[in-house]
C-alpha cells in the first residue's frame, strides 16, 4: 500500500478525536503521557513534519521511518521540552528535521532541500495560536533580513548545513556564523511574536 494512503488512513482514524487543546494544555497532557494528547499531536502536526522530512530525504519510505522515529523521540523526551525556550511546534520540527538530516548523512550524502520558493509544506490547522504562513510569506519574511543573515538562515534551516559547514563553505569564523544566526532568529521571532 502506498505510504501516502497509509498516512491518510491513520490521520483519518485519529481525526475522530474531538479533543481540543491550547498549546499549554497540550504540553501538560503530553507530559502526563495522555494518549489523546499524542493522537492530537500526531493528527495536527504530522503532515508538516512528514513534508519537511520528505523534502530532506526525497524518499517517502525512508521519510516514513524517520517520522516514526521522530514521534518516538518526541514521546520519550517530552519531559525535557521547555516552553520558555520556544514553541512546541518548533521543538518537534527540530527533532524531525534533525532526524532527517542524520538519516541523509548516514546514507553518505548531504541533505538537500528544495529552494524555499518551491517548498510545499502543508500548513496544519492553527491549534495553539501559532501563525499559519505559506511558503511565499516565509520567503518574504526571511528576505527582509540583511543579506549576510538571510543566506545563513537559508543554509542552516532550508538546506540542512551545520554551523561548522556554513563556516567552512562561506569562510566565515564559526563565532560570526553563530552570532549572525542568533541575531537573525531574534529578528524573525519579533515578527512571529504573538
What is the pLDDT, as a whole number, of residue 67? Answer: 92
In a domain? residue 143: yes
In a domain? residue 14: no
The answer to whether residues 101 and 148 belong to one domain is no
In a domain? residue 36: yes
Q: Cell 518537534, residue? A: 92
- Of 52, 74, 109, the one marking the end of a domain is 109
pLDDT at residue 89 tops 80: yes
In a domain? residue 40: yes
pLDDT confidence tier of residue 86, bands split at 50, 70 and 90: confident
- What is the Cα–Cα distance from 22 to 24, expressed in whole angstroms? 5
Task: Measure the N-to-C terminal CA separation of the chain; round to a whole number of Å.
Answer: 42
CATH number at residue 27: 1.10.1740.10
The answer to whether residues 138 and 105 belong to one domain is no
What is the pLDDT, as a whole number, of residue 70? Answer: 94
Please report, rounded to a whole number, the percentage of residues in the chain having pLDDT higher than 70. Answer: 71
- What is the Cα–Cα distance from 152 to 184, expressed in whole angstroms? 9
Domain that holds residue 149: 133-193
Instruction: Please state the rounded mean pLDDT for residues 161-186.
Output: 88
In a domain? residue 116: no
What is the pLDDT, as a whole number, of residue 165? Answer: 82
Q: Tell me the pLDDT tens digit for each residue of 52-71.
A: 888 888 888 998 999 999 99
CATH number at residue 187: 1.10.10.10
- What is the Cα–Cα distance from 69 to 54, expressed in whole angstroms? 14
- What is the Cα–Cα distance from 152 to 137, expressed in whole angstroms? 18
How many domains is the chain partitioned into structurally?
Answer: 2
The answer to whether residues 29 and 90 belong to one domain is yes
- Of 93, 109, 125, the one marking the end of a domain is 109
C-alpha cell at 108: 553518505
The answer to whether residues 166 and 98 belong to one domain is no
pLDDT confidence tier of residue 51, bands split at 50, 70 and 90: confident
pLDDT at residue 7 tops 50: no
Please state, as a whole number, how many other Cβ atoms lie within 10 Å of the Cβ of residue 64.
18
What is the pLDDT, as a whole number, of residue 133? Answer: 46
Q: Cell 563553505, residue? A: 169
What is the pLDDT, as a whole number, of residue 134? Answer: 47
What is the pLDDT, as a whole number, of residue 137? Answer: 62
pLDDT at residue 131 tops 60: no
Average pLDDT, the chain: 75
What is the pLDDT, as a whole number, of residue 32? Answer: 94
What is the pLDDT, as a whole number, of residue 2? Answer: 40
What pTM was computed for the model? 0.52
Amino acid at each position: 500500500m502506498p505510504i501516502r494512503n497509509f498516512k491518510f488512513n491513520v490521520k483519518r482514524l485519529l481525526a475522530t478525536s474531538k479533543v481540543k487543546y491550547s498549546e499549554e494544555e497540550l504540553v501538560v497532557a503530553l507530559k502526563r503521557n495522555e494518549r489523546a494528547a499524542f493522537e492530537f499531536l500526531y493528527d495536527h502536526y504530522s503532515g508538516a513534519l512528514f513534508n519537511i522530512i520528505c523534502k530532506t530525504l526525497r524518499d517517502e519510505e525512508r521519510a516514513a521511518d524517520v517520522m516514526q522515529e521522530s514521534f518516538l523521540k518526541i514521546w520519550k523526551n517530552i519531559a525535557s521540552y521547555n516552553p520558555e525556550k520556544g514553541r512546541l511546534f518548533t521543538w518537534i520540527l527540530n527533532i524531525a528535521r534533525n532526524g532527517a538530516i542524520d538519516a541523509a548523512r548516514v546514507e553518505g550524502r548531504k541533505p538537500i532541500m528544495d529552494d524555499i520558493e518551491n517548498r510545499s509544506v502543508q500548513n496544519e490547522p492553527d491549534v495553539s495560536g501559532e501563525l499559519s504562513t505559506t511558503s511565499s510569506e516565509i520567503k518574504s519574511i526571511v528576505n527582509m533580513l540583511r543579506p549576510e543573515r538571510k543566506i545563513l538562515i537559508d543554509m542552516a534551516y532550508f538546506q540542512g548545513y551545520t554551523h561548522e559547514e556554513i563556516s567552512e563553505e562561506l569562510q566565515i569564523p564559526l563565532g560570526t556564523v553563530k552570532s549572525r544566526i542568533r541575531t537573525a532568529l531574534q529578528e524573525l521571532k519579533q515578527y512571529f511574536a504573538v
